[in-house]
């Protein structure tokens, strides 16, 4: 397909959503769109035209969307929350390498949603915010948006003759989430960017080095419940106001190379993680990154085995990174100094001082935290990728984390190859070298030693319109460690195969599309012992009226070994195993699940799911103060007057039910509510006891006074702890970097348990509260 030449203009259009500027008359025009969802390259329901022009400093885009005025779906939403209503969007592949593109979207009021699409990833990363100007307006004939995008907000190839990958689309929400695109979408070709067109003519962009400096000031007053020897329930201590000053800076060395640094960055909790069920959980939970410094260039450091997980850097004093692309080489370097590992509490510091005094009279006394006190963990990350062919690459990943008595280094290679239009092969192989503490189940002790490990991931994926399949292998050896990354389980291998059969999409039929999926998996440790297996099938249906249904049946198998939970018993009996009774447990585990989602109208949307699982293991951890252990071993020990040693774990089969429900309600264009609820109930089979029941509620409300000013409330409730966390936040965010927040966070229990005595605490008990003011301002200078 021939490139579309974008004309250069001399006069900047006024960004007001009216499309009445002379500049648009000489702009390039994109029209005659194709409906690509739910229809398959058919005529769109409504016409759309897009106009594009540029000057030395800005790219100008305008969208003209014909529609009935009273049927347009749009609200005064917060940034990055507009793709659930009518919107338009463009993709800018600024390196024309079909690997990465900016996705910039706007609703009918011009509210922005921006992100990075990395080919082969699970979705778009909307954590990225770029500085741009946009405005929308609703007219009698429909709606329009105008946008002014600074080239200095983008990273692009510095060649004189610039060709960018490009596509543009419109989303009409009420027509079954219809997507209309400038170019047709061949569903038998895997990927997104490979199917886009190209724009050219952007040869007179003025090269500018840009320095962005964002100083921030936070004033915080915290009240916290602390232990008190005279008041066992503890007491509330009001701490003095704490000022916290930090600075973030970004320097664009070239249009495609950027240096970022942060000195004492303030990461006040503006938005907390969603609550999750922590009971009966064996492995750590992955939480998404939300901190601005680590979000810039995040896609460069992503890979299948997650050798770098930025949330392992908890509280950095300083962090810096250099990211970019030159020619066919993409690179990223990151360094950080994290004070969190050596930042002990005041009580721990007092105990350490007392220990040091005792050490003077008895040199054999060890003060366990002294060598770690106020020490920082140091991080280093190196990422390289070399493109070749149409959409292939080979890459290197290296990470390092050092702390007293803990050193970890990870390095290895990865790559992706397109075998044909529909088939992609990808892999990653990593090795780790560690000098740190390792737990030995055979000796039941922690040993300070050297450990070397291996991790691998291999995937072959074929995606077409009506068929698709995936074959995967992944594993991590027993001594594999990734202290700067995320590895939720080691000493495991897994094999996975999935298949999909689909009907052709019919946008006018009652049943628009039906997908039938089947999969099998098998897990085993590095000794060859089975850990688990699964076979499942699922059906999902897309119906008229933004309505979808799904059902799933699974038949699984799980095998437990006591050395995965603690010590492994020996023949002499000197080491008691982690399990009471048999050292292994296994179970066949069938399950059924059902779900639905429905956008009822422009104001209301709901989703719900329920799952039933039989013979799920209760690992016998208990679930906090409210739910103790209910295994036969533990109950027998309690009934026997708690005499004898504390009983080992006694995992057993249980019935589990999980319910999830969510609703979003927009009573006005400026106000929206959302409620998320989940219920998890685990009932032990052998003792006929309730292991736990967890209820999680999250209630959000947001009122947008203007596009940039809002008032937000949030309440999280966890029934396991009888704990409630609440936040009220006023914010003004005119652009990425400039912000003003006033917030109040509260944390309390009602008829819960005291955190120091573990005893029931009737009535209201506050754990802590914080009032904060946070101010930041973006200074931007180009030269």
CA nearest neighbour of 737 among 68, 250, 58: 250
pLDDT at 235 over 80: yes
Q: Find the angle CA(721)-CA(725)-CA(730) to the nearest 5 degrees.
A: 175
How crowded is the C-beta side of 766, counted as CA atoms within 13 Å?
13
Given a contact cutoff of 8 angstroms between Cβ atoms, the answer to whether 519 and 536 are in contact is yes
pLDDT at 272 over 80: no
Structure tokens at 562: 């006591």
The pLDDT assigned to 753 comes to 87
Given a contact cutoff of 8 angstroms between Cβ atoms, the answer to whether 597 and 548 are in contact is yes
Of 361 and 301, more confident: 301
- Strands 34-37, 48-54: pairing kind: unpaired
Pairwise CA distance, residues 404 & 332, whole Å: 26
pLDDT at 1 over 80: no
Pairwise CA distance, residues 420 & 417, whole Å: 9
Pairwise CA distance, residues 58 & 51, whole Å: 14
Q: Where are the alpha helices (DSSP H) in 115-213?
A: none
Cβ burial 466-494 (10 Å sphere, 16+ → b, else e): eebbbebebbbbebbbbbbbbbeebbbbb
pLDDT at 594 over 80: yes
Mean pLDDT of 215-219: 94
Pairwise CA distance, residues 186 & 193, whole Å: 12
- pLDDT single digits (tens) 154-166: 999 887 789 999 9
Pairwise CA distance, residues 692 & 626, whole Å: 8
pLDDT class of 334 with cuts at 50, 70, 90: very high
List domains and CATH numbers for the chain: 4-200 (2.60.40.1190), 340-375 (no CATH), 500-663 (no CATH)
Mean pLDDT of 349-361: 88
3-class secondary structure for 324-365? EEECCEEEEEEEEEECHHHCCCHHHHHHHHHHHHHHHHCCCC
Pairwise CA distance, residues 96 & 193, whole Å: 9
Structure tokens at 366: 């060890």
Pairwise CA distance, residues 732 & 740, whole Å: 5
The pLDDT assigned to 13 comes to 96
Given a contact cutoff of 8 angstroms between Cβ atoms, the answer to whether 213 and 199 are in contact is no
pLDDT at 292 over 90: no
Structure tokens at 455: 């991790």
pLDDT at 228 over 90: no
Pairwise CA distance, residues 419 & 328, whole Å: 20
- Strands 124-125, 133-139: pairing kind: unpaired
Average pLDDT over all residues of the chain = 94
- The DSSP bridge partners found for residue 272 are none
Given a contact cutoff of 8 angstroms between Cβ atoms, the answer to whether 528 and 491 are in contact is no
Instruction: Compute φ and ψ for 359, nearest 5 degrees.
Output: -65, -25
Given a contact cutoff of 8 angstroms between Cβ atoms, the answer to whether 330 and 385 are in contact is yes
The pLDDT assigned to 268 comes to 59
- pLDDT single digits (tens) 407-454: 999 999 999 999 999 999 999 999 999 999 999 999 999 999 999 999
pLDDT class of 265 with cuts at 50, 70, 90: confident
Structure tokens at 704: 């947008």
- pLDDT single digits (tens) 459-469: 999 999 999 99
The pLDDT assigned to 267 comes to 64
- pLDDT single digits (tens) 24-57: 999 999 999 999 999 999 999 999 999 999 999 9
Pairwise CA distance, residues 698 & 263, whole Å: 34
**Non-local CB neighbours of 62 within 8 Å, separated by 6+ positions:** 13, 19, 24, 27, 50, 51, 52, 144, 145, 146, 147
The pLDDT assigned to 683 comes to 98
How far from chain centre, in Å, is Cα 652? 33
| 460 to 118, 302, 453, 457, 499: CA distances (angstroms) | 18, 19, 24, 10, 12
Q: Is the peptide bond before 649 cis (omega within 30 degrees of 0)?
A: no
Element (H, E) at 634: helix 632-639
Q: Where are the alpha helices (DSSP H) in 18-64?
A: none
Instruction: Pick the range with the lowest mean pLDDT from 239-243, 481-485, 612-616, 688-692.
Output: 239-243
Pairwise CA distance, residues 591 & 655, whole Å: 10
The pLDDT assigned to 159 comes to 77
The pLDDT assigned to 233 comes to 74
Mean pLDDT of 2-29: 95
- Strands 4-5, 197-200: pairing kind: parallel
The pLDDT assigned to 565 comes to 97
Instruction: Pick the range with the lowest mean pLDDT from 121-125, 368-372, 378-382, 680-684.
Output: 121-125
The pLDDT assigned to 122 comes to 77
Structure tokens at 124: 């778009």
Element (H, E) at 505: none
Mean pLDDT of 477-504: 97
- The DSSP bridge partners found for residue 51 are 29, 62
Pairwise CA distance, residues 268 & 744, whole Å: 12
- Tokens 């594999």 identify what position? 480
* CA-CA-CA-CA torsion sign (666, 669, 671, 672): positive
Structure tokens at 583: 């050292």
Size of the chain, expressed as the number of residues it contains: 783
Given a contact cutoff of 8 angstroms between Cβ atoms, the answer to whether 12 and 55 are in contact is yes
- Tokens 């320095």 identify what position? 211
Structure tokens at 257: 């190379």
The pLDDT assigned to 273 comes to 75
Element (H, E) at 143: strand 142-150
Given a contact cutoff of 8 angstroms between Cβ atoms, the answer to whether 208 and 152 are in contact is yes
| 228 to 232, 440, 748: CA distances (angstroms) | 6, 38, 18
| 243 to 237, 247, 623: CA distances (angstroms) | 18, 14, 38
- pLDDT single digits (tens) 628-640: 999 999 999 999 9
- pLDDT single digits (tens) 712-767: 999 999 999 899 999 999 999 999 999 999 999 999 999 988 887 888 888 889 99
The pLDDT assigned to 269 comes to 64
Given a contact cutoff of 8 angstroms between Cβ atoms, the answer to whether 457 and 304 are in contact is yes
| 763 to 231, 380, 539, 750, 751: CA distances (angstroms) | 17, 48, 47, 5, 5
């Amino acid at each position: 397909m021939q490139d579309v030449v974008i004309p250069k203009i001399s006069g900047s259009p006024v960004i007001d959503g009216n499309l009445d500027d002379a500049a648009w008359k000489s702009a390039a025009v994109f029209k005659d769109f194709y409906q690509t969802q739910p229809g398959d390259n058919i005529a769109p329901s409504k016409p759309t035209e897009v106009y594009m022009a540029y000057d030395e400093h800005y790219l100008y885009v305008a969208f003209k969307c014909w529609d009935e005025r009273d049927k347009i779906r749009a609200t005064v939403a917060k940034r990055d929350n507009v793709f659930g209503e009518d919107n338009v969007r463009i993709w800018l592949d600024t390196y024309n390498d079909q690997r990465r593109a900016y996705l910039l979207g706007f609703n009918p009021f011009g509210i922005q949603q921006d992100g990075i699409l990395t080919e082969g990833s699970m979705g778009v990363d909307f954590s990225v915010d770029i500085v741009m100007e946009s405005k929308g307006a609703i007219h009698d004939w429909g709606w329009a948006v105008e946008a002014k995008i600074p080239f200095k907000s983008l990273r692009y190839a510095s060649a004189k003759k610039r060709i960018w990958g490009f596509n543009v689309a419109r989303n009409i929400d009420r027509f079954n989430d219809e997507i209309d695109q400038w170019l047709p979408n061949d569903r038998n070709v895997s990927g997104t960017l490979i199917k886009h067109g190209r724009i050219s003519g952007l040869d007179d962009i003025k090269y500018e080095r840009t320095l962005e400096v964002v100083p921030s000031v936070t004033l915080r007053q915290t009240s916290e419940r602390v232990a008190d020897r005279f008041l066992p329930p503890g007491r509330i201590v009001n701490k003095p106001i704490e000022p916290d000053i930090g600075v973030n800076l970004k320097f664009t060395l070239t249009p495609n190379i950027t240096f970022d640094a942060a000195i004492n960055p303030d990461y006040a909790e503006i938005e907390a993680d969603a609550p999750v069920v922590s009971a009966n959980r064996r492995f750590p939970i992955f939480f998404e990154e939300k901190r601005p410094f680590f979000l810039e260039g995040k896609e460069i450091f992503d890979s299948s085995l997650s050798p770098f997980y930025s949330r392992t850097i908890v509280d950095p004093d300083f962090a810096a990174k250099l990211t970019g692309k030159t020619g066919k080489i993409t690179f990223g370097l990151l360094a950080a100094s994290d004070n969190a590992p050596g930042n002990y509490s005041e009580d721990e510091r007092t105990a350490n001082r007392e220990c040091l005094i005792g050490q003077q009279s008895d040199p054999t006394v060890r003060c366990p935290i002294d060598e770690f006190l106020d020490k920082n963990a140091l991080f280093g990350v190196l990422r390289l990728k070399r493109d070749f062919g149409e959409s292939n690459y080979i890459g290197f990943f290296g990470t390092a984390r050092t702390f007293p008595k803990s050193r970890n280094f990870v390095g290895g290679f990865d790559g992706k190859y397109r075998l044909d239009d529909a088939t992609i092969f990808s892999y990653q192989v990593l090795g780790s070298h560690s000098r740190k503490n390792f737990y030995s189940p055979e000796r039941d002790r922690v040993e300070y030693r050297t450990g070397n490990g291996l991790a691998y991931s291999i995937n072959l994926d074929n995606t077409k319109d009506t068929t698709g399949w995936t074959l995967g292998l992944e594993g991590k050896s027993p001594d594999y460690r990734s202290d700067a990354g995320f590895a939720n389980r080691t000493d495991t291998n897994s094999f996975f195969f999935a298949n999909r059969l689909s009907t052709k999409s019919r946008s006018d039929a009652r049943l628009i599309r039906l997908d039938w999926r089947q999969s099998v998996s098998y897990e085993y440790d590095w000794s060859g012992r089975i850990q688990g297996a699964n076979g499942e099938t699922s059906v999902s249906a897309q119906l008229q009226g933004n309505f979808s249904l799904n059902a799933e049946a699974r038949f699984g198998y799980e095998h437990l070994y006591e050395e995965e939970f603690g010590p492994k018993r020996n023949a002499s009996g000197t080491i008691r195993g982690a399990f009471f009774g048999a050292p292994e447990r296994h179970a066949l585990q069938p399950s059924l699940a059902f779900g639905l989602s429905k956008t009822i109208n422009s104001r209301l949307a709901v989703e719900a799911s329920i799952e039933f699982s039989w013979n799920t293991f209760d690992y016998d951890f208990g679930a906090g103060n409210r739910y103790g252990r209910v295994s036969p071993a533990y109950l027998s020990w309690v009934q026997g007057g708690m005499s004898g040693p504390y009983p080992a774990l006694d995992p057993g089969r249980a019935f589990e039910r999980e319910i999830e429900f969510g609703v979003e309600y927009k009573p006005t264009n400026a106000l929206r509510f959302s409620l998320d609820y989940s219920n998890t109930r685990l009932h032990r089979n052998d003792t006929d006891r309730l292991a736990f029941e967890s209820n999680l509620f999250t209630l959000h409300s947001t009122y947008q006074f203007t596009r940039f000013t809002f008032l937000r409330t949030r309440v999280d409730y966890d029934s396991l702890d009888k704990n409630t966390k609440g936040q009220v936040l006023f914010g003004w965010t005119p652009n990425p970097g400039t912000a003003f927040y006033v917030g109040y966070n509260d944390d309390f229990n009602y008829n819960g348990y005291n955190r120091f005595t573990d005893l029931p605490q009737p009535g209201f008990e506050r754990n802590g509260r914080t009032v904060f003011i946070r101010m930041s301002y973006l200074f931007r200078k180009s030269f």
